Structure 1
Amino acid sequence: MSDIPQERRVLTAIPGPKSVELQARRTAAVAAGVGSTLPVFTARAGGGIIEDVDGNRLIDFGSGIAVTSVGASAEAVVRRASAQLADFTHTCFMVTPYEGYVEVCERLAELTPGDHAKKSALFNSGAEAVENAVKIARAYTKRTAVVVFDHGYHGRTNLTMALTAKNMPYKQGFGPFAPEVYRVPMAYGYRWPTGPENAGAEASAQAIDEITKQIGAENVAAIIIEPVLGEGGFIEPAKGFLPAIARFAKDNGIVFVADEIQSGFCRTGQWFACEDEGLVPDLITTAKGIAGGLPLSAVTGRAEIMDAAHSGGLGGTYGGNPVACAGALGAIETMRELDLNARARRIEEVMKGRLEEMRAKLPNGGLIGDVRGRGAMIAIELVKPGTKDPDAAATAALAKACHAEGLLVLTCGTYGNVLRFLPPLVIGEDLLNEGLDILERAFATL
């Protein structure tokens, strides 16, 4: 745990004068296309706190977008990565390999669902992992088509932009995109026309019908889905949807890929979100929470599928960097020692309880249309009162009010109307409740 005091402290306006000065330098030197949720410049971070250059301490409900689940300066991550830094920073695993890469792959084989023989390949980012999963699936099946879902997000490379559903800001002006990508319906319970109780069966039937008629199952290499959708709005597919899609994939020789980049590594109260309905994916992509903040990602899956790509067909200069691998071993050590799955489930209990109380206090629920998510991956969808019309403006205003009081929150959703909460799994319950107090006051100001 970090030695940063685990207390919120607001000494200046947010952002403060030093952050404003740095923002001017940033504007002059950094491309405008690289955005920031909150232009507060970090000096230190750890536990549930981000300390900025002005000495303000913000409660962290973002974890660097689900990355610093073990905290931003976890002892085991720092210890192992520091030791590796002193030994060597890089050799390129494809030139002269090293044990850390192998050990991370061994841990992934143990932790991911299923007791079949598994292998992994390591990369740098989530988008790289997804792109390589497609390469592997195509090599294995000798097919080309890839199926994805409404509201899905899979990355910012050319292929993963094609896989991603949301145009702005991820795709606007960046085409043309990779071909042979097909999008089908998602069981979005809150917005399903006949109600959430029907969404699983109806959406899976529609999706399978579209695949069969429009693509042909025999042409599909991979079906890729987030077991809990991230950027699309923390949507939990309605029960029954994922198993039905997985069965269809198995019956038709299609590689079923679980994109667990945001939902993996204890975030939902299980090692991986697909475990909730007993899914055993053929391939699973991971990143974000894997290495305590160091850049690392992986594709893990059935050995016979992973071995389909020819020697030299997978890799990358920095993929499985030794320092990042050391960080990953430290992060996994922390997750096990602190039982961060149990911590995530407790965070869900506290957050959902408080959020439902807030909704109950508002006439007809007020702006809060839906409270959803699992573990420490919780969200509220904001709508115009009495309707399901998305209210992106209120969402932005609510986030801004929280930021001003020293609570870092993030927004997401296809319609920009979802406030998402991704606190570090090591956050203290006092900070968790204080953050929720700030959110409740922000609702009152709206």
Structure 2
Amino acid sequence: MSQVNKYTDRAAYASDTDRLSTQSAVSLIASDNEIIYDGVNIVVGKDAASVGDCAVYDKTAGAIRFVKGETLSAAQLPATLTPLAVVYARQGDKVLIVSLDSPTISLWAYSYEVALSDFDLAAGGTIVLKFADSIEKTITYTAGATLSDLAAAANAAFKTGEVNMSSVDRGGWSATADEAAGRIVLTSNGYSKSWTTIEAMSGATLTTRPDDTNYQAALTGLLLDEGQTVEYVRRKNGVNGTRAGMNSELFLQYYSANGTAPTSNVPLGSETIVNQASFEGSQFCAELRAAYADYASYLFGEHMAQYPSAYGAMLRDGRTNTAKIGRLRFTDIYGQSKPCYPAAAAALEYGVAVESTTTGLEAGSWWLPSVEELYLLLHDRVLTAGDVERDPVNRTLSRLGKATLLANSASCWTSCEGDIGSAFMSYRIEGVMFSYVKCISQYVRPVAAL
């Protein structure tokens, strides 16, 4: 810091006409014990780092330091300072940081695959497949059909009939042509193991991959406690479940309009989230109105995730979780090595390189956030690009020209497993932390700590 200005109060600070011209590093307002950073690209140590500050590698000092977010100017940032990440929270001496780069989009768990072969394209024919031990689908192809024609016929068959096998809750089956091997590959993205079982009844030979595990519909066996099959988040009212409020602004915006209109009494401590009109006027919400002055107080007091919490998924550690599952691999239907859990693998593969230097933030040093870490990351994030200046994390990302973290623009995975078919994520529609199916693609935003 180049200079410290000390003022007795805010009035004395505001009346100092020389302060801005000197571009002082810091001003101390004694009456409130408030520190104000006045300069441009003011660099501080870890002990002074706070939310929104930009972690940089200082080539002159040979160490990671921090540019105060409110003073950050990317155009004037010295070449000796390399941006690494943005601080999103502090926990005692630990500074939590989030990646600058655009997030990847990944499945939480890898797809299930089988292959079909030994059909006669020249003559044409019919293939009968059985799903979930009882649902049959018939694939018909004409003489002279190509592999692509056969794959298209399979996809059409999956979408017809009383059971749509192409939907997530019915296995999410799809077909592609594997020209090199003269076969078609069937891929399932589904959360129920029963719907992802498949048998070739006639017309083709079905081949499974060497590792026939369906990772999307099975517990990892590594993330939950021994014997535990379900994880939860706890709301402030003590309710345990798969959903709890996370981003205040979005949570209020969604549930004020889309909460439940009750038809019976809703007591304190209920799992039911009522809408604003019902809270303010329904006879069934009298107990809620007696306890809370307005709808926002009710929503946040009852249904926001409990933090800090001594319960459930909030106790899981993102770094530990990612280390357990991020490097696990299997051989896919094409004979290639693939990650069992792509979201965790993507977080481990992320890294920041500074030429000729080891910073400790290279690949392998980052992880898929835990429920607690994602809660801290997104709890106060704004919803629109026009509001980034009132959001210290998004302000810094925006000033650096990096991908922002608007709370309603992306749903992000955590490394916390929910049950056999689900894992926790932020749900951008409702502003909640939600345990949702492992078989869909969501954003991966790696985090780390210093």
Task: Tell whether the structures are fold-level matches, with TM greater than 0.5.
Answer: no
Greater helix fraction, Structure 1 or Structure 2: 1
Higher relative contact order (CA 8 A, sep 6+): 1
Q: TM-score, normalised by structure 1?
A: 0.23
Q: Compare CA radii of gyration and give the structure with the larger one.
A: 2
Q: TM-score, normalised by structure 2?
A: 0.23
Greater strand fraction, Structure 1 or Structure 2: 2
